Structure 1
Amino acid sequence: MVRIAIVSDTHLPRGRRRIPAAALARMRAADLILHAGDLSAATVLDELEALGPPVFAVAGNVEEPQVRMRLPARRVVEAGGARIGLVHDAGAARGRLARMRAAFPDCDAVVFGHSHIPLLERDEAGFTIFNPGSATERRRQPHHTMGEATVDDGRLTFEIVPLDDDG
């Protein structure tokens, strides 16, 4: 089984705000980390890479030039027999599931960010789109959140994880 920690929209550094300890612990315990963009600074990417598991990230719309130079706008990650598309902005809610299916036709799921709104949605064939929300900037959401996924024999499952409001 492959365990995946999923974050997006960290928007750091910003004042005294940090990635919550609970999120860092889950990332350290994962087999790999996905970040769906808006890290903001290269230091955040460096911090995530120092946690241990491999980090696969994409650039968002607020990245410093150093981050945009290091990260693609979209990518596909293979884990445990599953293929996961990764992009920052999946566009408007209306038609999003079909649009992401068309944009990543060989993937089992697409992870995205941008809205800071946690989302887990599947079509009838099992194709999934997933937004982990934000562990650091919840905006109007009731909790800071991140995501976790597992891949077991190619079967991919996602979970939205509420975090203590220490972020």
Structure 2
Amino acid sequence: MIHRIGVISDTHMPPHKRLPESLWQIFDDVELIIHAGDLSTLAVVAELETIAPVVAVQGNVERDDVVTKLPIKREIKVGGVRIGIVHILGESKYYARTARREFPDARVVVFGHSHVPYNEEYEGVLLFNPGSTNERRRQPTCSVGMLIIDDETMHVQGEIISLE
């Protein structure tokens, strides 16, 4: 079986009023959406759940409702693949080391915070940051991500999708 997982982070709502309309098309056929934090409000989860079930963690700029409801980190399993989820993975030069320490059994570690897309494999672990949905900062565009997991081969592929 092939699993398609939408990945989103740093939606920052508010101050942003809504999610980009293109998300409904991009995530149309996903079975799950992972939100890697900085939702700001739980209303983001409810809105994304109109597309697919959502698994989320809190970020570092959350309202109280998010902090009381969501964990700082979590690990899930999709098919036979373990996915660690956390908002802040630290400095980029230490991503791999921090990921291995936080999620020793994970095949994928999803994170956010930097607003910089990142899709690199290191010693058998895919380190994946979808970038920011609403605040591109120094990036050319805002972005989201897609994880594609093949149960038969246990292959995992990440894709960064620009929102133009």
Shorter-chain TM-score: what band? over 0.9
Offset of residue 11 of structure 1? 0.0
Residue equivalent to 2:161: 161
Residue equivalent to 1:143: 141
Residue equivalent to 1:100: 99
8 Å CA contact 1:111, 1:130 repeated in 2: yes
Q: Secondary structure at the match of 1:25?
A: helix
Q: Describe the superposition over 1:35-89 as per-residue Cα deviations: whole angstroms up to 9, x where unpaired.
A: 00000012112111232x2100000011111011111100011112111000000
Residue equivalent to 1:13: 14
Give the share of equivalent positions with the same residue, in percent.
45
Q: How many residues align?
A: 161
Gaps of 5+ in 2: none
Gaps of 5+ in 1: none
Root mean square deviation of aligned Cα: 1.2
Q: Secondary structure at the match of 1:99?
A: helix
Offset of residue 126 of structure 1? 2.0
Offset of residue 140 of structure 1? 1.0
Residue equivalent to 1:132: 130
Distance in 2 separating the partners of 1:88 and 1:102 = 15
Greater mean deviation of Cα atoms: 102-111 or 21-30: 21-30
Distance in 1 separating the partners of 2:42 and 2:12 = 11
Within a 5 Å distance, the mapping from 1:17-166 to structure 2 comes to: 17-51=17-51, 53-123=52-122, 125-153=123-151, 154-164=154-164
Greater mean deviation of Cα atoms: 110-119 or 97-106: 97-106
The TM-score normalised by the length of structure 1 is 0.91
8 Å CA contact 1:78, 1:84 repeated in 2: yes
